[in-house]
Amino acid sequence: MQRAIRLRLFGMMVLEFAIWGAWLPLIYSYLPSLGFTPLQQSWILNAFPLAAIFGMFFSNQFADRHFAAERFLAFSHLVGGLAMLGLAWTRSFWPFFGLMLLHCLLYVPTISICNSIAFAHIRDPQRDFGRVRVGGTVGWILAAWPFTFILVDWQAVRVSQPEDWIAWLRTVLNHGLQGEALYASIRWTFIVAGLTSMLMALYSLTLPHTPPRKTTGGMDRLAWLKAMRLLRRPYVFVLWLMTLVDAFLIYAYFNWTGLFLAVPAEEGGPGISGNWIMPVMSIGQVMEILTMLILGAVLKRLGWRTTLVLGVLGHTVRFAVYALFPQSQLLIILVQMLHGICYAFFFATVSIFVDAYFPKDSRASAQGLFNMMLFGFGNIAANFVCPWLRESVFTRNGITDWQGMFLVPTVVSVLAALALATLFHPPSPSETPSDLQVTVSGAAGSKG
């Protein structure tokens, strides 16, 4: 019975994150093609982090306390899926922004709701939640691969007249769309995401019944206050600020990578075909799974501080390769593997650190504080700064200075790594203040 439930929960995570993974990587390339200004692009991109900030309160304080979780998922994904489908045929700014905001306001709370459903129906969360949650990474990867056959120059395929199905497959894989034709066809990402969302709405009704949680009144409100007070600890405050910086870096990667990968070699880019951009970027999620498997051993051996610094330096290497070897297609593809280090060694480590160092009664709220930086303010900062940098600072006469642009996050990541290395000094378990409770048994606390 438990195995069957875990499989259903795993499928829930696959569909949940396939929705997000279908539209996010290429939207940064699509919005400029619609003629939106950098400011308009920023507002559309910031619909998600704004919904994330609102959703942290909505999902925790309202949705999962007034609705059965699986029914809330079904409603949210049905309406959110229709909004996503509408984006595929929308070209004007205000309708586009409205539909995106509607989708995000409904989608973001479902991430927490999916976690709540999983925790409610697995017997041993410490052992089983990781196995269930990895379905989200699998879903993100799977969302990328249909576009290998969607973003194809089918006219060129027909002209080639392949002799058999093997020749046909080779021709399809080698004739990805490019230029304006690619940007116009990116609307298919919204169609795939919308259909996946509607499938998720149906699938949600098959999930185990999860009734609303009982409210504990003022205790939860005080938990937020207690979590905020812990920011007075210098090492907690430093980590909180560095989470903002690292979130900026990871969303700078999403802002620019899809556009950069499509730049032809003669224009100074790697020249990756349009139908291979999302699969290439999905290499990072594959490595994310593998890196998560070794994270516990890395933390035990290197400690909190060194592991976090390595996570930030992963951005340094990736952006430096973009800046210094922009036409090396193989190197650009291989460096995508560093996404696993960037994610696991920083963001996953931050979550583990919060769970280890914060009091049990304010742990969820503390996670919310750091998630606010990750999904909210760091994302907002990148979505305002990155379109402006690319279009207004580093693009002249239609030519983008990719090297100069990628050197900006390279330098930022080096400074962030130095700040962590010099300013982040968490106490060992025996030195922890009474208002913090270390629950990790020697895993990483003594090494900082």
Is 432 contained in some domain?
A: no
Q: Are 92 and 129 members of one domain? A: yes
pLDDT the model gives residue 60? 54
Is 294 contained in some domain?
A: yes
Is 314 contained in some domain?
A: yes
Q: Are 209 and 289 members of one domain? A: no
Q: Are 196 and 269 members of one domain? A: no
Is 104 contained in some domain?
A: yes
Q: Are 133 and 246 members of one domain? A: no
Give the DSSP letter string of 294-349: HHHHHHHHHHHHHHHHHHHHHHHHHHHHHHH-TT-HHHHHHGGGGHHHHIIIIIIH
Q: Are 297 and 376 members of one domain? A: yes
CB 64 within 8 A of CB 116: yes
Q: Are 199 and 238 members of one domain? A: no
Residue 42: domain span: 1-151+186-215
pLDDT the model gives residue 126? 59
Judge residue 339's burial from the number of C-beta atoms within 10 Å of its C-beta, 0-12 exposed, 13-18 middle, 19 or more buried: buried
Q: Are 75 and 205 members of one domain? A: yes
pLDDT the model gives residue 384? 94
* Helix H or strand E encompassing 399: strand 399-400
Place of tokens 């410490």: 126
Is 436 contained in some domain?
A: no
Helix (H, G, I), strand (E, B) or coil at 161: coil
CATH number at residue 388: 1.20.1250.20
Retrieve residue 201's tokens: 């709405």
How many contiguous H segments (helices) and E segments (strands) does the chain have?
21, 2
Helix (H, G, I), strand (E, B) or coil at 443: coil
First to last CA, the chain: 41
Is 394 contained in some domain?
A: yes
List C-alpha distances in Å: 59 to 82, 118, 229, 355, 424.
21, 15, 23, 20, 31
Q: Are 245 and 192 members of one domain? A: no
Rounded CA separation 296/355 (Å): 14
List for the chain the helix, strand, coil content (%; round to 5).
80, 0, 20
pLDDT the model gives residue 436? 47
Retrieve residue 374's tokens: 């990750």
Is 169 contained in some domain?
A: no
The whole-number mean pLDDT for each consecutive block of 10 residues of the chain, a chain of 448 residues, reads 84 96 94 94 94 70 74 95 97 97 92 84 74 89 92 92 89 90 94 98 93 61 65 89 96 95 90 93 90 86 94 97 95 94 90 77 70 88 95 91 96 97 81 45 41
pLDDT the model gives residue 196? 98
CB 87 within 8 A of CB 22: no
Q: Are 80 and 224 members of one domain? A: no
Helices (H), 335-442: 339-342, 349-357, 363-371, 378-388, 402-423
Retrieve residue 164's tokens: 């058999």
Q: Are 126 and 18 members of one domain? A: yes
Q: Count of domains in the chain?
A: 2
Rounded CA separation 42/29 (Å): 13
Helices (H), 145-233: 147-150, 154-160, 165-173, 179-185, 187-204, 218-229
pLDDT the model gives residue 319? 97
395-396/399-400 β-pairing: antiparallel
Residue 314's nearest CA partner among 354, 343, 291 is 343
Q: Are 200 and 283 members of one domain? A: no
pLDDT the model gives residue 149? 92
Is 36 contained in some domain?
A: yes
- Look at residues 165, 197, 215 and tell me which one is the last residue of a structural domain: 215
Q: Are 26 and 136 members of one domain? A: yes
Rounded CA separation 386/397 (Å): 18
Q: How long a stretch of residues is the chain? A: 448
